[in-house]
A and B are shown apart, each in its own frame.
Chain A
Amino acid sequence: MNFSDILTMRHELMLTLLALVILIIDLNLHNRNKHLIISITLGLFFIHTLVGFLPAENSTLFGGMYRTNPLLVMMKNILNVGVLIVLLQSVTWLKKEENREKISEYFILLFSTLIGMYFMISSGDFLMFYLGLELATIPIAALAAYTHHQTKSAEAGIKLLLISALSSGILLFGLSLIYGSTGSIYFDTITQLYKNTPMQVLAFIFFFTGMGFKISLVPFHLWTADVYEGAPINVTSYLSVISKGAAAFILIIVMFTVFNTIAPVYNNILYLISVLTMTIGNLFALRQKNMKRFLAFSSIAQAGFILLGIIGGNIMGMTSVIYFVLVYIFSNLGAFGVVSAISTVTGKDSMDDYDGLYATNPKLSLLMMLALFSLAGIPPVAGFFGKFFLFASAASAGYYWLVFIAVLNATISLYYYLLVVKAMFINKSEEPLAYFKSDLATRTGLVLSGLGIFILGFWSQIYELINSLSFGIIH
């Protein structure tokens, strides 16, 4: 272990340090000046994000428990950018009187979950994987329960925590069986020994259940909507974007590097789950009136699409999933950003409140529309490219009917996305939400996500970069 190894772990180390720095500053700050933490944290995190982009090499630490390579670093960077936007979007909300005393805690909890995700991504064994998973989940439950005066918030917290405990219990049971059948918790050993026997399939299913919870796949998704609704909006956007994105990254890593020997089996499982997830997610999203719930269900449906990339089982699938998640982060953050800006300022988050929004807040409405179109996969915004590549990767493995079902579902999803567009642009309202001007941070966040939505699709280099990195992972 030497200094260069520290550089290898720079994401985890820096963020841990960052969390500690915040803790220390917070202890030394007078109550009146607590809001200073926000700008300090934002600045530091921005630096952290930039540093993350330093070139990285393939490397393994701790005897294989920690591994890193450019692709994994890229995943972390993608998450960092997303988190940066989330942080920018939460500024207004954090500055509210009621949250004043808990600002630093918000950051620390958020960062610790992010550290958990980093570790999950970089894990080389199931122990680190599990630890990362818990680290990424438990503090979020606390964050979901962040707002005291709202019963919904606490309800969201406990629902998340208990279901997560149940799911990680089942996951652990699966892990124990995996350990029992292969004698190792290290990925590199397991992948050599894993075979298609009933017991190992069972173990895999138990394991997959836990992952299904994390990405909210049907039927492990039921917590999603309630938690998204109850949690503070920025936590929701974090949950739905960063947490889910990370889980998708991890799922694909695990599927491709650990369980690739039972791909014929898990492809069938993924097929079924994917169809269920897309359809059920859409069916529920169809009639939602609360914007947060609406986005929750839509993100469930999106998770179904992600599986299409995994089911391909090739580099193309891997690339397209990562690319899709990247696009999804920007698109969903665009949508959440608008919902968050509106709900923080006006406290309204029902779709009916959005009637006639374009007349009063044209820019917000436009961004929202673009974000929704991106989620629906409409050109020329990035979502179109993301979806197209996902479908292409599934088709490359011959799953044409699955692609067909998926595209039909995308059409259904277009329906409810258009309902929001309709509310904003077409519906007339007696009392539309009054015009308001968001503060700088929110606007920066919105602009960033808007730019991402626009540029990512056309900018093929990004896709190519991911592809070149994915290439290294599988072969």
Chain B
Amino acid sequence: MADFTYTLLIPLIPFFTFLLLGLAGHKMKPIMAGLIGTSGLGASAILAYSAAISYFWTGHSAGTPYTSIKAFEIPWLHLTDKLTIHLGVLIDPISVMMLVVITTVSLMVHIYSIGYMKGDTGFSRFFSFLSLFSFSMLGLVLATNIFQMYIFWELVGVSSFLLIGYYYYEKPSAVAASKKAFIVTRFADLGFLIGILMLSFNTGTFDFQTLTDPHGPAIAQAGGAAFMGLSLLTWSLIFIFVGGAGKSAMFPFHIWLPDAMEGPTPVSALIHAATMVVAGVYLVARLFPVFALGAPDALYVVAWIGGFSSLFAAVIACTQTDIKRVLAFSTMSQIGYMMLALGVSGYGGEEGLGFMASNFHLFTHAMFKALLFLGAGAVIHAVHSNEIGDMGNLRKFLPVTHITFLIACLTIAGIPPFSGFFSKDEILVAAFHSNKLLFAIEYLVAGLTAFYMFRLYYGIFWGKNTHYHHTPHEAPKVMTIPLMILAFGSVFAGFLPFHDLVTSDGKGFESAIDWFVAIPSVLIGVVGIVIATILYKKESAMPDRIAGSLKYLHRWAHRKFYIDEVYLFVTRKIIFRYISVPIAWFDRHIVDGTMNGIAGMTVYAAYAVKGLQSGKLHQYAFVFVSGAVILVLIFVYLV
């Protein structure tokens, strides 16, 4: 077994670039900062690739299962006799895969950002935050235990917050969006925390290896209904999943994701498409044996939440006009796919197809979704707007962007031989074998996906001949090269032998394309594309008519089914107005009022007894004598 200790450097290099840029960035030339950040990430990426190669291939004897390796671990915080939080590096198929994904996308985004953010104030700050994010995300995937994961989970959240809001801090909408993102995910993280508390209480460990050991104590203790017919383990996993759902923008925690698009586009590409938002999927995958073996009920929840979210998001995506938002909902939809795949999967061998498919899709999705976002970024860069309405017919001006964007659209639509086809197909197969209703939903979603992506594609690159103030021009090389690299990835990633590499139990299995499922899915994708072509390739009034005929559905979908409003109602009205304001009032007037009241009473009493001191000698004498008599009465006769 190879020594993987050096993988520790993969997160640490970005951390040091973060410190360097954070502390000294404002004194550097911007380009310098960009180069430092990028080269740091480049180094990480190289390490990640070499780790991947040595883990999957060179250092691995074929035919044996992949095992998880603790490459490094130090105690960080001692809690109880049993529980100690460690920080370490865990190398196993999914973490290595994630390393590759994260470093790749992040490197691309870094490179791209040098062009995209050029001339922007706070350039170096941006790069330091990017480094911070990369560090956190890498730390998250390498976590050896659930608590380390939680730590980096939070850090990822805050980096996202910083990148959304702190960068564009003068833009109120960005600030609001960042706040929303943070608070909503934080709320979900509370679930995560409670889940961790319950899990660690029941199992006495944080460690993933112990937890996920199919013969280990955690799974062995699973049984027994504790509350509402579900076992404690199930409950804790459901709570943990709440955290995952928050980060991964699953319904009903998805509301922050569209708003997060206020952030710079590279950020959206990196965080809100390719890496951070899949953390929830990664979390479930990480604990998959526990889910699958210990708490199938929890997995069922995962499947349904995933399935519903994918449909829900796809419907909304069809109606959005902000290109980044369309992509955001698409992301949500795709992550729903992944969740669903996990949810329908079993443990071990062929049973674990869903698990494999989910990770596979995660991998391919990272490529093409990053590509889409970066492409969208190039478009926005060219036209200075996010609205489809402001675009059209850009294919002449932005040829490279156009081609790469088209590749990405085809990939996501699941058209063979692009990578999306392979991963999505596996998911559909897994769903087909598990739950037909979910399978049907996913079919529908596949069609919708193709439709809205091509609606977007046509809206940007075809459609009406928009008049532009400045002639849009293609992005600089530094931006287009990442596009091309990612396009390359999107095209060919599908051929990776995932079923050998990333499986639920480490053992590879045979998996072939199930044409019975694949052909209809490709067809439905094509149908979606065709409809989109008809409606949007040329400017026409048809879309509006259709929208009009679907009156309520369209309006509801356009308004994202009013989930935001519900949240607003809960936070503004109920929490703010009906909880916080009364509590603050109560505190000032009742609690504090009581304290002041006691003081006031004392002073009042002081004035009330004033008359006793009348200045009149005979009254003094009267009190004197009565006092004596009363004392006699009490102590001689009453006591």
Contacts and interface: CB of A to CB of B under 8 A. Distances in A.
Q: Do chains A and B touch in the complex (CB under 8 A)?
A: yes
Nearest to B631: A205
Interface string A438-467: 000000000000000000000000000000
B620 A222 contact: yes
Contacts of A77: none
Contacts of A223: 620
A226 B615 contact: yes
A167 interface: yes
Contacts of A163: 617, 620-621, 624
Contact of B606 (A206, A208, A268, A287): A287
B608 to A, nearest CB: 9
Given A202-B636, A205-B636, A284 B613 contact: yes
A280 interface: yes
B613 A225 contact: yes
A213 B624 contact: yes
Interface in B605-639: 605-607, 609-610, 612-613, 615, 617, 619-621, 623-628, 631-632, 634-637, 639
A352 B591 CA distance: 33
A166 B635 contact: no
Nearest to A276: B627
A287 B620 CA distance: 20
B566 interface: no
A366 interface: no
A159 B634 CA distance: 28
Interface residues of A, number: 32
B603 interface: yes
B67 interface: no
Given A226-B615, A283-B605, A198 B636 contact: yes
B624 A222 contact: yes
B636 A201 contact: yes
Given A163-B620, A225-B613, A220 B627 contact: yes
Interface string B571-615: 000000000000000000000000000000011011101101101
A376 to B, nearest CB: 16
B624 A287 contact: no
A6 interface: no
Contacts of A201: 635-636
B621 A268 contact: no
Interface residues of B, number: 27
A163 B624 CA distance: 9
A27 interface: no
A159 B620 contact: yes
Interface string A282-295: 01101100000000
B627 A209 contact: yes
B606 A284 contact: yes
B632 A205 contact: yes
B639 to A, nearest CB: 6
B602 A287 contact: no
Interface in A154-208: 158-159, 162-163, 166-167, 170, 198, 201-202, 205-206, 208
A170 B613 contact: no
B635 to A, nearest CB: 6
Interface residues of A: mostly helix, strand, loop or mixed? helix
A209 B624 contact: yes
Most B C-beta atoms less than 10 A away, residue of A159, A209, A219, A412 = A219
Nearest to A293: B613
A269 interface: yes
Nearest to A158: B617
A412 B605 CA distance: 13
A195 B356 CA distance: 98
A300 to B, nearest CB: 11
B445 to A, nearest CB: 70
B609 A202 contact: no
A300 B628 CA distance: 18
B624 A166 contact: yes
A298 to B, nearest CB: 13
Contacts of A170: 625, 628
Contacts of A220: 624, 627-628
Nearest to B607: A287
Contacts of B603: 286-287
Contacts of A29: none
A265 interface: yes
B635 A205 contact: yes
Contacts of B613: 222, 225-226, 284
B602 A412 contact: yes
30 contacts: A162-B621, A163-B617, A166-B624, A167-B624, A170-B625, A170-B628, A201-B635, A201-B636, A202-B636, A205-B631, A206-B628, A209-B627, A209-B628, A218-B627, A219-B627, A220-B624, A220-B628, A222-B612, A222-B620, A223-B620, A226-B613, A265-B639, A269-B635, A280-B609, A283-B609, A284-B609, A284-B610, A287-B603, A287-B610, A412-B602
Interface of B: 602-603, 605-607, 609-610, 612-613, 615, 617, 619-621, 623-628, 631-632, 634-637, 639
Closest 6 CB pairs of A and B: A219-B627, A222-B620, A286-B606, A283-B606, A209-B628, A198-B636
Given A206-B628, A220-B627, 8 more contacts: A163-B617, A163-B624, A213-B624, A219-B623, A268-B635, A283-B609, A284-B606, A287-B603
Interface of A: 158-159, 162-163, 166-167, 170, 198, 201-202, 205-206, 208-209, 213, 218-220, 222-223, 225-226, 265, 268-269, 272, 280, 283-284, 286-287, 412
